[in-house]
Structure 1
C-alpha cells in the first residue's frame, strides 16, 4: 500500500491557489505509486472510489508503470462488474449514471495510456453515444484527441469543431480546455496536407495570442504550461515530428 506524502494537482504542484477549485482539478496523492503516472490517470481513477475504498486498494508501488496501469484498469473493471451485479436486474448506468460515467472514463484513460487504442475508442464512443445530457460535449473532446492520435485527422477535426464553440461559451477561449481544443483542430488541419497548413498556422497564432493574455486572469496558473505545450507542438509540426 502506498502512503501519501502530500498531494499534487494538474501542474504537478500543490500550490495552484484558487485553481484547485476548478472541476477538472483533483488532489492526487504525491507518493511512489502515483508520482510516475500522469495526473489525469490519478484523477480519473481516484474519483471513482471513496476514501475508505482507496485506503483498502492494493496499490503496489513496486510495479512498473504499465503494471500500475493494468492494475488500475482491472480495479475499475471489477468495480463496474460489482456495481452492475448489485443493480440487477437493472445496470449501474440505470441506477447511478454519474458513477457509470466516471468508471468508463477511468477505464478509457487506462486503455489509452496502455496503448490499447481500439479498446479506448470503443469505451469513449460508448460514453459519447450513451450520455444522458446531449448538450455536454466533454466526451467528444476526449474522442477527438484520441482520433487525432490515431491519425484520423479529418474525423478529429469534424468532431472537435462544435466542441471548441461549446468550450468557448462554457469556460472561455483562454481556458486550458478551449486552448487544447484549438490545438487538436490545428494539428488535424496540418496533418491533412499542405493545403490546410495555412489555416493551422492561423489557429495556432490565435492560441499563442490567447495564452499571452492569460496573465492575471483566472487561468494564469496554466499559462506557462500552455505556452510550452503549444510551442513544442508547433516546432514538432514544422519538423514533421508529430
Structure 2
C-alpha cells in the first residue's frame, strides 16, 4: 500500500515517498522551512530527534530572526543550544550526571554535536568527540560511532586506520541490519575507498563491484528497496571519482 509523503517535511531522500521506511530509526520528519532547508538532513535529524513529546523543540519558523542567519551562523546557534542543553541536563541530574541518568540521550546529544562540528569543518574537535563517545560507550559491541570515525579518517587521508576500523563496522552492520541496508552499503564503499587510496586499485574495483551487485540483487519487496536508486548513484559517483583520481595521477 502506498504511503503519501507527509507535506512540509523531508526525510533522508528529500521529498521522495519512502513509504514504510519512514519508520526506520534513522528516518525523521524534518520540517521544510528557511532555517532547516540549507542544512544537511543529518544535522537537522540529529538535533530535532533529541526532543521527545514531553519536551518542546526550539522553534525555527520562517518569520523568526533565525531564518535569515547564514549557514555557519545557524550551525553555531545549534551548537550553542546543544551545549546549553548538556549543561542543563547535568544540573537537573545532580548529584548524578546526565551520562548516568539518561545515557541514550546523552549519547545522541554528543553525536549531534559531532555532526555540527563536521559541518563547521572543525575536524579536530569532531574527532575528539567521536573518540570520547567510543571510549565512554556502555555497550562495547556497539560500533556506530566507529562508523562515523571511519568516515572522518577517510576525509583526513588516514586510509589504513579507516580500512581497519570500518571492516569491523561492516561485519557488525551486516549482523544488525543486513548487507542490503544503506549503512552496510556505505561501510563497503568506505572500505573500497580506503583500499583504493592505499594503492590497491584492483581490490578496490572488486569491492565496488560487490557493492553494485548487492544493490542490484536487492528484491523489490525488501524494506531497503526504496534506497536502491540513491545507493546506486552514490556508488557510481564514488567509482567515477576514484577512477578520475587514478587517471590524474597517471596510474
Partners of 1:156 and 1:188 within 8 A in 2 = yes
Q: Measure, in 2, the Cα distance between the counterparts of 1:179 and 1:92.
A: 34
Give 1:126's aligned residue: 132
Q: Measure, in 2, the Cα distance between the counterparts of 1:231 and 1:16.
A: 22
Give aligned pairs, total. 237
Q: How does 1:108-147 map to 2 (within 5 A)?
A: 108-147=114-153
Normalised by the length of structure 1, the TM-score is: 0.93
Q: 2:100 aligns with which of 80, 94, 103?
A: 94
Partners of 1:33 and 1:59 within 8 A in 2 = no
Give 2:4's aligned residue: none
| Alignment of 1:208 onto 2:212 | yes
Offset of residue 157 of structure 1: 0.6
Q: How does 1:62-81 map to 2 (within 5 A)?
A: 62-81=68-87
Q: Measure, in 2, the Cα distance between the counterparts of 1:240 and 1:49.
A: 43
Q: Measure, in 1, the Cα distance between the counterparts of 2:173 and 2:115.
A: 21
Offset of residue 211 of structure 1: 1.0
Q: Measure, in 2, the Cα distance between the counterparts of 1:75 and 1:49.
A: 12
Give 1:233's aligned residue: 238
Structure 2 unaligned blocks of 5 or more? 1-6
Structure 1 unaligned blocks of 5 or more? none
Give 1:53's aligned residue: 56
Q: Measure, in 1, the Cα distance between the counterparts of 2:188 and 2:236.
A: 13
Give the SS at the match of 1:240.
Answer: helix
Tell which deviates more after alignment, 208-217 or 115-124: 208-217
Tell which deviates more after alignment, 42-51 or 64-73: 42-51
| Alignment of 1:220 onto 2:220 | no
User: In angstroms, what is the RMSD of aligned CA positions?
Assistant: 1.9
Normalised by the length of structure 2, the TM-score is: 0.89
Offset of residue 64 of structure 1: 1.1
Q: Measure, in 2, the Cα distance between the counterparts of 1:192 and 1:227.
A: 24
